[in-house]
Every structure is written in structure tokens, then in C-alpha cells.
């Protein structure tokens, strides 16, 4: 029998590092584009995350024809998504009698290991198996894990697989239900899911709040004070809801005020905490989409410039030599910043609240120069380097001044600050420091009032979420993971549920959330994830039967399908779909202008009054069309953006565009006519 040992990790990088920690004379062989690390008859292989996907058999692929009920109890099959890896696993299986699962020490990691084990056992049923559990890839941790190997936790893997089944069944059934009912099929389908739908609900409900918001008037009083040559502004301590009251107070203010309180304090401001994925994406989203930021981080990681970008951890582990990394940057574009860090007698890093042991926070692992990277890559790299150096930098020192002034019983307050020493803020210039100025005052001092203003203001609706806000909120609500949140947002964009940043929902998004709230509210709530988490834990502990959990979902969905008013659902969704196509009002008959397709599937803007009204406008045929929320001032038609492979371009108002084009064409036509006339006037040369 073969005497070999195979160690399986979740990713290539880990395989390489583990093999170098545990063995000497490691050789790397490359087959089918996959590295295997070998030392004698021991092999270390890195997977690529999940190599198997659950799906319905292909007989169920026709969305329109398959009754949804039959999908509920359809067999769920395993499809190999990483064929090359599966092939290598089968080949290696024949050379070994023992396998150690060394995937990440978490629920998904356990399942990923079991997926690989399944493929190995098919080729070699008698292979022995054990599990290495480590939470950091350091020599100490890895050696410890391999000296105390444990058993594979099949219950834990089962719980992860149950999550997959629940997600697939709910997702597929409701996605198909909505897509078929609305007629939005093909690449325009309407999706539903345990994470995306609650996220979309947040966006939709925020938009409803904004729509329903009734602004309230209020009044604020400002006064300008003068001490010597300094003029400074303070605000009345009260915000007035009543105009008369505000006017009364305003009149009372005399030409001078007494200083009731003055305080000056020096306060230190600690630098920001180390980057985990959420913090990183929130900061990067100031200038780049989370999706792009994440994909750049991934490539910087693969090139060895930064540490693993998918982490929840905000505390540097002791094993990282922070000073040594900072020292690397003395010979770099960040020389000044690194020197500031190293000028301190002792380095003290900030720490966040979340501390996990699997990956460190995101930090730079090697020095890059501007020429090594593309422009966007550099921006992300620079952000990560600056953040890292900032977490080790001295505090910023501020001078705070606060106080109270009184004029004829009316009180004014101020609270301003000024930077005395920027400290980390010089290293990390992404935040603007809001500074104000008030001169030093003495208690009891009388100050001259040179001007006063009564300002009418309005309360404002809550702001729309930005991508950065949402990723943070999703984390807080337990929606998605560090690896998926940015992808979920991307999904909402590509389904045309949302557009812009801050995010606005489309009309169909309102209809979808409305329909789901009426018929299957659970899928629009973070509670569904929370419930699933609890059940997964119980399955992992062996307290709950996985088939029961799946069955409960099936029965729940069956109930929904039997009670749903399909006609109403279809009507409401189609109305949403229709509204999203409305570009504006027809200038000729006043009916809605919509985006239509001609018989030869060319798109154009047409009037819903057709055939009575034959008004049309041309559209470009390439790229996908986005209606923006901005309207043309002249025609009241929504401005259009086109997204092509190269990026977005603003088309603006289609009507303006058309008129311009017609005019320029008219000029060209006129030119042609002129030329023709010219030709006629000129006597022709005679040719022989």
C-alpha cells in the first residue's frame, strides 16, 4: 500500500508557508496550473476555497416551465467547480494513506476540507484522516497544531452545508418567483437572498423615509463678537422651533456680552485603529468602489505587497515586528512618515475592539515604489501603508476652547479646537481637521457684539447610505461576511436595484421589497441570518438534525407559494419595471416616454401613446443604459448614463442630444449642398 501523507490547506499561500514551517527540502511542482509542495512522500496542497457547489440538476434549468413547488423538493446535487484541483486530489489520493485537513479553522473551512476529503475517498476509500487546527500561520502555532492533531468535525461541516442548502432553496425559489412574475428574465432577472434582500430593504426604507420626510422650520441665532482685532462667531445655545420666540430673543441681544465661562484644554487624539476589511473598505470607498478596492487589495496581496485582505481583526498580533516593518519604509516614498514613527522612544500601536486570531489586520508586507504599481493600485497601497504607519504614530494634540457668553439674558456658546501638533494626522491625511478660532477670554470680561443674525433653517431628511456606510451597517447587523459584503453591494447594482453612490433604489427595488414584505418577510430581515446562525451552531453541536432545518424551510416556502396572490404580485412588479423605464413626458402628447425595443431589437425612446403618438428619440445601441435621478432642465427628461466595458459616460438628455445631432447634421447637409453648388459654378477642367 502507498505510504504517503497529504496536507490540505484552504489556499495556496498557506500551503507554501505550512510546508516551509514543517519540512525541509521542499520542492514545488506545478501541474494544471496548481502548485504542490513536496518533501519526500509528503505533499502539501492549497485549495481555492470551496471546490464544490450545490445546485439543482440541470433538468430544472428552465425557469418558466418548472413549477416552483417541484423545485422545493428537488434533489440537490454537488457540482465540482474546481476541476483541476479535483483531478490533482484524485491523483494524489493514490499515493497516500493519510490526509490531514489544514483548512481555516472555522465552519466554512471545515466544509471545504470535507469537500476535498470526499474527492480523495472516491479515489482511495481507505485513507486515514485527521485535522490540524491553527489560528495563525506562525511556526509556533503550526507546529503546535500538527503535534496535537484532532478529528474532522463532520457535524460542523454538515452545518455549513445546511446553510448552503437553505440559501439555495430560498434564493432560487424566490428569485424565480419574482423574475417570472415580473417578466424580468435573462440577464435582467430579479434576485432574492438572505443577505442581499435585507440590505436592499435598508436602502429602500431609507429612501421612503426621505420621500415621506416633512421638513420642519427652525431658527438659529448667531452673533459676531469682537475682542481687540479678533472677530469670532458664536451660536445661541437654543434652537428655536417658534419664530416669535426666536425674534423675541434676537431683539433682546444688546451690543455687548459678558463672558460666563471660558475653558482651555489640551487634548490628545489617538490615531485610528488597524485596518480590518470593513474599516479598509469604508476608507477606500471615499475614492473607489468597495468592489474595485477589494479586487486591488487581492492583487496586492498576491504580489506580496500587503497581508491577507480578508480579516475581521483590528489588533496586531505580538508576532508581527511592527518596528521592523516601519523601518522598511525609511527608504521609500513614505520616508518622512516612517521617520516620524521611528522618532518615538517606544512604539505603541492602536487597537480596535475586534480581535480574532486567524488573520492579522491588513498591513504592508513589502515596500513598493510608485512605478511598481498602476495608479489605482498605488492609491490603495498608499492608503494601507499610511494607515499602518498612522496606527504607530504619535497622538495628534489639540487645543480645545469652550465657553459661554451672555447678552441681556441670552446665552451663546462656543466649542472650537485647533491643532497644536498634527502627529498621526500628517501621516494619514484622509480626514480633514475641522479647526475654529476664538481668542482667549477671561471670566467676567465684557465683549462687544458687532453683528447678529437670525437664520431660518429647515430640518433635513436622513442621508442616503453610501457604500462605505452600508458595509459597516451590514457588519453591525450580522449580514454577510468580510469576503462577501462588497460583492453583495455589487450584486444590487448589477440587478439594477440601486444606482449611484450614495445609493438610490430603483422603482423595481421598491416593488420587490414591498412584495417580499407582504409574502415572505423573513428573507428581508437580518433575523433570518441570526436564526440560521443559531441553528447552525445547534447542528454543529449535534443537538439539531440538519434535515429538520431544511424541511422547516421547505414547508415555510410551500405555505408562501400556496397563499400568494400571483396576479397581484405580477401586477405590482410589472408596474415597478414599467416605472423604471419611464424617461419622462412626451413633448408632443404628454404621455410617458419609455425605453423600448424595435422589431430588430434596436433600442429607442418611444411614447406610450403609440400608435396614436409616433414621437421617438434614438439611443446608442452599445453599453447598458442607466437612468439617473437628474432631469434635463429644458425637457424634463431623465439624464442618461451609459456603462460600457471602458466605464461610464454621460449621455445627458436624449432629446437635447438628438436636437444637437440634427442641427449638426443639418449643417453638414448644408455644407454638402454648398460644395455641390460650388462645383457647378467652377468651370470643369477638360480632360483629354
Partner DNA sequence: GCAAGGTC
- Which residues does the annotation mark as catalytic? 308
Is residue 82 part of the contact set for DNA (CB under 7 A)?
Answer: yes
CA dihedral 329, 330, 334, 339 (to 10 degrees): 120
Site string for DNA, 528-567 (x = CB under 7 A): -x--------------------------------------
Nearer to DNA, 185 or 347 (CB): 185
Asked if 236 is part of the footprint of DNA (rule: CB under 7 A), the reply reads no
Query: Which among 433, 147, 663 has a CA at the least distance from the CA of 130?
Result: 147
Q: Between residue 149 and residue 168, which ones bind DNA under the rule CB under 7 A?
A: 163-164, 167-168
Bridge partners (DSSP) listed for residue 616: 606
Our finding on whether 194 is near DNA (CB under 7 A) is yes
Q: Considering only the stretches 195-203, 404-412, 437-445, 504-512, report the one whose residues sit in contact with DNA under the rule CB under 7 A.
A: 195-203
Nearest distance in Å: CB 496, DNA: 12
Which DSSP helix (H) or strand (E) runs through 404?
strand 396-407
Indicate which single residue of 4, 113, 171, 361 sits in contact with DNA (rule: CB under 7 A).
171
Q: What are phi and psi of 193, to 5 degrees?
A: -165, 160
Q: Is the dihedral of CA 193, 199, 201, 207 positive or negative?
A: negative
**298, 514, 537, 592: which one binds DNA (CB under 7 A):** 298
502 prior amide bond cis, ω within 30: yes
Tell me: does residue 289 bind DNA (CB under 7 A): no
The C-alpha atoms of residue 489 and residue 293 are separated, in whole angstroms, by 13
**Residue placing its CB nearer to DNA in the complex, 75 or 371:** 75
Residue 61 as a binder of DNA (CB under 7 A): the answer is: yes
Q: CB nearer to DNA: give 124 or 524.
A: 524
* DSSP one-letter string for 84-119: HHHHHHHHHHTT-SEEEE-S-SSHHHHHHHHHHHHH
- CB distance 437 to 232 below 8 Å: yes
Query: Could you tell me the three cell numbers for 347?
Result: 512604539
Interface characters, 484-523, with DNA (x: CB under 7 A): x--xx--x--------------------------------
Q: Contact, 134 vs 105, CB < 8 A?
A: yes
Q: 483 pairs with which residues across the strands?
A: none
| C-alpha to C-alpha distance for 561 and 325, rounded to whole angstroms | 58
Cα-Cα-Cα-Cα dihedral sign, residues 459, 460, 462, 468: negative
Residue 104 lies near DNA (rule: CB under 7 A): yes
Is 291 a binder of DNA (CB under 7 A)? no
- Identity of the residue, 21 or 80, whose beta carbon is nearer to DNA in the bound complex: 80
Residue owning grid cell 457668553: 405
Among 481, 490, 570, 628, binds DNA (CB under 7 A): 481
Closer Cβ to DNA, 102 or 223, answer by number: 102
Distance of CA 210 to the CA centre of its chain: 22
The contact pattern for DNA, residues 107-146, with x = CB under 7 A and - = no contact, is -x---x----------------------------------
* Number of residues engaging DNA in binding (CB under 7 A): 56
Measured from the CB of residue 91, what is the shortest distance to DNA in angstroms?
18
Q: Choose, by CB under 7 A, the member of 42, 197, 276, 314 that binds DNA.
A: 197
Write down the least CB distance from residue 170 to DNA, Å: 7
Question: Residue 332, SS3?
Answer: coil
Query: How far is Cα 640 from Cα 654, in angstroms, rounded to an integer?
Result: 7
> Can you state the percent helix, strand and coil of the chain, rounding each to 5?
45, 25, 35
Residue choice 106, 220, 575, 631 for contact with DNA (CB under 7 A): 106
The binder of DNA chosen from 43, 56, 232, 465 (CB under 7 A): 56
**Minimum Å distance from CB 106 to DNA?**
7
Task: Give the helix/strand (H/E) hosting 377.
Answer: helix 375-391
Cis peptide before 611 (omega within 30 of 0): yes
Q: Rule CB under 7 A: which residues touch DNA?
A: 10-13, 46, 48-51, 53-56, 60-64, 81-82, 104, 106, 108, 112, 163-164, 167-168, 170-172, 175-176, 179, 185-186, 189, 191-197, 298, 302, 310, 480-484, 487-488, 491, 529
Amino acid at each position: 500500500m502507498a505510504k504517503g501523507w497529504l496536507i490540505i490547506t484552504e489556499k495556496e499561500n498557506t500551503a507554501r508557508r505550512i510546508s516551509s514551517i514543517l519540512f525541509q527540502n521542499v520542492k514545488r511542482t506545478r501541474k494544471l496550473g496548481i502548485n504542490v509542495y513536496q518533501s519526500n512522500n509528503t505533499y502539501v496542497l492549497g485549495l481555492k476555497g470551496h471546490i464544490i457547489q450545490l445546485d439543482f440538476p440541470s433538468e430544472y434549468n428552465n425557469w418558466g416551465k418548472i413549477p416552483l413547488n417541484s423545485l422545493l423538493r428537488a434533489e440537490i446535487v454537488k457540482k465540482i467547480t474546481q476541476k483541476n484541483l479535483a483531478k490533482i486530489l484524485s491523483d494524489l489520493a493514490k499515493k497516500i494513506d493519510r490526509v490531514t485537513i489544514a483548512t481555516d479553522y472555522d465552519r466554512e473551512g471545515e466544509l471545504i476540507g470535507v469537500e476535498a476529503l470526499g474527492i480523495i475517498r472516491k479515489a482511495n476509500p481507505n485513507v486515514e484522516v485527521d485535522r490540524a487546527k491553527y489560528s495563525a500561520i506562525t511556526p509556533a502555532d503550526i507546529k503546535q497544531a500538527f503535534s496535537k492533531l484532532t478529528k474532522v468535525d463532520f457535524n460542523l461541516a454538515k452545518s455549513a452545508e445546511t446553510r448552503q442548502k437553505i440559501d439555495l432553496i430560498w434564493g432560487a425559489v424566490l428569485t424565480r418567483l419574482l423574475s417570472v412574475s415580473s417578466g424580468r428574465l435573462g440577464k435582467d432577472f430579479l434576485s432574492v437572498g438572505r443577505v442581499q434582500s435585507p440590505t436592499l430593504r435598508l436602502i429602500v426604507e431609507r429612501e421612503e423615509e426621505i420621500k415621506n420626510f416633512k421638513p420642519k422650520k427652525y431658527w438659529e441665532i448667531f452673533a459676531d463678537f469682537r475682542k481687540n482685532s479678533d472677530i469670532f462667531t458664536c451660536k445661541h445655545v437654543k434652537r428655536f422651533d417658534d419664530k416669535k420666540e426666536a425674534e423675541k430673543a434676537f431683539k433682546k441681544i444688546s451690543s455687548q456680552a459678558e463672558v460666563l465661562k471660558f475653558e482651555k484644554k489640551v487634548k490628545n487624539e489617538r490615531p485610528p485603529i488597524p485596518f480590518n476589511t470593513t474599516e479598509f473598505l469604508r476608507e477606500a470607498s471615499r475614492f473607489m468602489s468597495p468592489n474595485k478596492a477589494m479586487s486591488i487589495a487581492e492583487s496586492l496581496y498576491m504580489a506580496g505587497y500587503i497581508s491577507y485582505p480578508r480579516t475581521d481583526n483590528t489588533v496586531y498580533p505580538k508576532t508581527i515586528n511592527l518596528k521592523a516593518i516601519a523601518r522598511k519604509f525609511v527608504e521609500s516614498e513614505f520616508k518622512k512618515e516612517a521617520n516620524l514613527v521611528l522618532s518615538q522612544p517606544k512604539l505603541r500601536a492602536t487597537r480596535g475592539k475586534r480581535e480574532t486570531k486567524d488573520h492579522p489586520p491588513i498591513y504592508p508586507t513589502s515596500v513598493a515604489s510608485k512605478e511598481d504599481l498602476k495608479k489605482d493600485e498605488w492609491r490603495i497601497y498608499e492608503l494601507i501603508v499610511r494607515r499602518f504607519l498612522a496606527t504607530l504614530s504619535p497622538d495628534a494634540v489639540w487645543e480645545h476652547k469652550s465657553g459661554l457668553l451672555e447678552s441681556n439674558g441670552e446665552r451663546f456658546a462656543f466649542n472650537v479646537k485647533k491643532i497644536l501638533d498634527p502627529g498621526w494626522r500628517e501621516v494619514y491625511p484622509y480626514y480633514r481637521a475641522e479647526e475654529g478660532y476664538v481668542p482667549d477670554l477671561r471670566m467676567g470680561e465684557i465683549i462687544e457684539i458687532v453683528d447678529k443674525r437670525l437664520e431660518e433653517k429647515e430640518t433635513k431628511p436622513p442621508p442616503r447610505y453610501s457604500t462605505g456606510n452600508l458595509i459597516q451597517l451590514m457588519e453591525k447587523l450580522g449580514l454577510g461576511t468580510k469576503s462577501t459584503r462588497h460583492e453583495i453591494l455589487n450584486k444590487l447594482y448589477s440587478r439594477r436595484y440601486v444606482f449611484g453612490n450614495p445609493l438610490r433604489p430603483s422603482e423595481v427595488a421598491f416593488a420587490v421589497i414591498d412584495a417580499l414584505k407582504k409574502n415572505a418577510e423573513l428573507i428581508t430581515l437580518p433575523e433570518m441570518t441570526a436564526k440560521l446562525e443559531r441553528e447552525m451552531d445547534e447542528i454543529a453541536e449535534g443537538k439539531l438534525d440538519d434535515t429538520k432545518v431544511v424541511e422547516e424551510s421547505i414547508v415555510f416556502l410551500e405555505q408562501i407559494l400556496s397563499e400568494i396572490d400571483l396576479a397581484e404580485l405580477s401586477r405590482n412588479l410589472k408596474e415597478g419595471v414599467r416605472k423604471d423605464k419611464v424617461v419622462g413626458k412626451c413633448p408632443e402628447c404628454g404621455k410617458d416616454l419609455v425605453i423600448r425595443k424595435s422589431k430588430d431589437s434596436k433600442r429607442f425612446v418611444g411614447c406610450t401613446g403609440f400608435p396614436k403618438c409616433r414621437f421617438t428619440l434614438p439611443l446608442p445601441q452599445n453599453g447598458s443604459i442607466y437612468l439617473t435621478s437628474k432631469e434635463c432642465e429644458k425637457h424634463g427628461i431623465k439624464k442618461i448614463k451609459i456603462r460600457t466595458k471602458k466605464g461610464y459616460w454621460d449621455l445627458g438628455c436624449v432629446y437635447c442630444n438628438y436636437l444637437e445631432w440634427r442641427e449638426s447634421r443639418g449643417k453638414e447637409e448644408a455644407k454638402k449642398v454648398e460644395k455641390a453648388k460650388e462645383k457647378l459654378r467652377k468651370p470643369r477642367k477638360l480632360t483629354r
